[in-house]
A and B are shown apart, each in its own frame.
Chain A
Amino acid sequence: MRGNAGAIPAASWDPALVRGIAEEMKGQEGALLPILHALNERFGYVDERAEPLVAEVLNLSRAEVHGVISFYHDFRAAPAGRVSVKVCRAEACQSMGALALIERLCARHGVALGDTSAGGIAIEPVYCLGNCACAPAAMINECLHGRLDADRLDRLIAEQEA
């Protein structure tokens, strides 16, 4: 599993790059989601300014593109935090104490669930990571972890901060 450490750094705003990605992928059936995923990965978020560009390439209205972006949890409206921590708060993880773990984590970083700390730690809720027999679970920078307790969670986040 890869972490963000080895990934290509997020690109800064570049309309030509947006258009290039959209043009390259527009031939697929139902191309909008794959294009948005590509933008989200390349830039770390989907910039509002990308909406009219993608709309033009796909011959859609800007409203249609905006509607899709705002529907799905994955497409971020602002650049991602330095460390992304997706904590599971679905039933199986709750049965193993996930809510207390999440509460402690948020307090430690001084943020509400769903926000990014001053230190760049983004703590987001997710509902099931498919690791329900190894609860509580979290995904830190695309890497799945299970059987978490407070110490292990802190250590794993610190490793990504370093």
Chain B
Amino acid sequence: MSITVYVPADSAALSVGAEETAAAISREAGARGLDMKIVRNGSRGLFWLEPLVEVMTSAGRVAYGPVSGADVPGLIEALSVAGAHPLCLGPTDEIPYLKSQERLTFARIGVIDPLDLADYEAHGGLAGLRRALVMEPAAICDEVTESGLRGRGGAGFPAGIKWKTVREQPGPLKYVCCNADEGDSGTFADRMVMEGDPFMLIEGMIIAGLATGATEGFVYIRSEYPRAVAQMEAAIGVLERAGWLGPDVGGSGRAFRLHVRKGAGAYICGEESSMLESLEGRRGTVRAKPPIAAIAGLFGKPTVVNNVLTLASVPVVLARGAAFYRDFGMGRSRGTQPFQLAGNVKRGGLVEKAFGVTLRELIEDFGGGTATGRPFRTAQLGGPLGAYISEDMLDLPADYEALAEAGAMLGHGGIVVFDESVDMAEMARFAFEFCEIESCGKCTPCRIGAIRGRETVEKVLRGENVAANIALIDDLCELMRDGSLCAMGGLTPMPVLSAIRLFPEDFDRAAPLAAE
């Protein structure tokens, strides 16, 4: 009987040698006359164990990792019988990191062959879409509203309310745009979805189309993700041939067409209105609001704009019902959030948990502390525009409101860990520098403020009039926060001010010698 072996083809797994591992398994199995079939799955998101190789047994899958190409000759015999080996991690589902998660959106990722539609359906795929096809559009919007699903891109706006607004606009032409311009450092969940379960995202977009009357969809993917672009294009082809995309979705007589568009290396295009400008073929500059995209979005038409994780959460909401999803989470943060542990962390990866899990559980229990083994100093939550936190904030629950109250934000769920070697004044300087590089230039507080901010932090770094310059930074940050058109200039103060507030000792630079 053929032995089925899984070797991820996720970008992160490939970046640490999964292709060599797969080639070595194929070669060694051939040399030994073993009948081995290699499935290229997505990643389970246990990145310190990548390349993570699994073998199917009658009792489920058994994992080995990290398996380099050079490990394969010594491993192949054990692998073929799921036997003992120093790299054996036991049954995959029993690995504590995975077992203690609550995977709803990521349930299939790393499990299935991402482009095998039958495999997708066998693992619960298309159930949400089938249900949506027999529902009234208003009822779909209500179901999403009742589930408590909020925008996972960072702003946390209730998805169902946005959909309802689009549904109530006159047609005929409306759009669904998926924001897959995942540019925040420390985040990779969108990429994992597009590479590891692209049908799920597309299913969510089709449901959004049915709910709002939109017949055209775009996925705007950053160009730094070439594999996600290729995988989404391939998945669209499969669903078109199967009749789930096109003029007659699943034989319902309703149309939904989907196109992939590639970004061009501009962080700002992750901002909703910049993304729409870019999709229209223009410079990715921010639009003033109102009007909101739900009323006048892409090409001036009513447009649903949601993040990858929001749309990818929709199929399970429809398949299992609003109450099932709402039962996860705390307060006004319902459902689950795919957290991403990144940077200087021992066990970096994807942790999907219900809202309310504490930062300490994520960083220490899942993450295992720093990768270097040196003491933890800080973590930046929610990307380059998110706040840094101190160690005594680790018991905060990961929940939109609780973090906002503590002066931080969840954003897209990225957590970047730093050890004690980090210089927080340098990080504050970098926050301004990043804003300077990536600002679209439309509004003055952001365009000029970022440059003046960087220069002023550099004065502090040189020890020039430290107290006066910090007061100036404070003042500048207030202006950027209140006067910028979008979150780029508006939130750059977050990392800067949190660094100054929580780590003042790093800003207490000695005056230059000449001044003494």
Contact = CB atoms under 8 A, between A and B. Distances in A.
A133 B340 contact: yes
Given A72-B265, A146-B12, A94 B188 contact: no
B185 A32 contact: no
Nearest to B350: A133
Contacts of B190: 130
Instruction: Name the residue in A72, A74, A95, A146 with the highest tally of chain B Cβ atoms < 10 Å from its Cβ.
Output: A95
Instruction: Name the residue in A37, A128, A130 with the highest tally of chain B Cβ atoms < 10 Å from its Cβ.
Output: A130
Given A32-B281, A127-B434, A145 B15 contact: yes
A134 interface: yes
Given A37-B262, A94-B430, A132-B188, A68 B348 contact: no
A95 B419 contact: yes
Contacts of B416: 91-92, 95, 132
Interface stretch (B76-84, B123-131, B218-226, B444-452): B218-226
A1 to B, nearest CB: 6
B380 interface: yes
Contacts of B362: none
A134 B16 contact: yes
A139 B265 contact: no
B418 interface: yes
B438 A33 contact: no
B264 A90 contact: no
B: contact size bracket: 35 or more
Contacts of A36: 264
A154 to B, nearest CB: 17
A17 to B, nearest CB: 20
A112 interface: no
B289 interface: no
A149 to B, nearest CB: 12
Contacts of A28: 259
Interface residues of A, number: 43
Nearest to B47: A133
A32 B264 contact: no
A146 B16 contact: yes
Interface string B254-265: 000001011111
A144 B418 contact: no
A142 B230 CA distance: 13
Instruction: Name the residue in B186, B263, B345 with the highest tally of chain A Cβ atoms < 10 Å from its Cβ.
Output: B186
B15 A134 contact: yes
A95 B414 contact: no
Given A127-B438, A128-B224, A91 B430 contact: yes
Interface in B7-28: 11-12, 14-16, 19
21 contacts: A1-B227, A37-B262, A72-B264, A72-B265, A72-B266, A74-B263, A90-B185, A95-B343, A95-B417, A96-B343, A127-B185, A127-B434, A128-B183, A128-B186, A130-B11, A130-B188, A130-B224, A131-B12, A132-B342, A134-B50, A145-B16
Given A74-B265, A91-B380, A131-B12, 13 more contacts: A1-B19, A30-B299, A72-B263, A73-B265, A74-B223, A92-B343, A95-B343, A95-B416, A130-B224, A133-B345, A133-B349, A134-B15, A144-B227
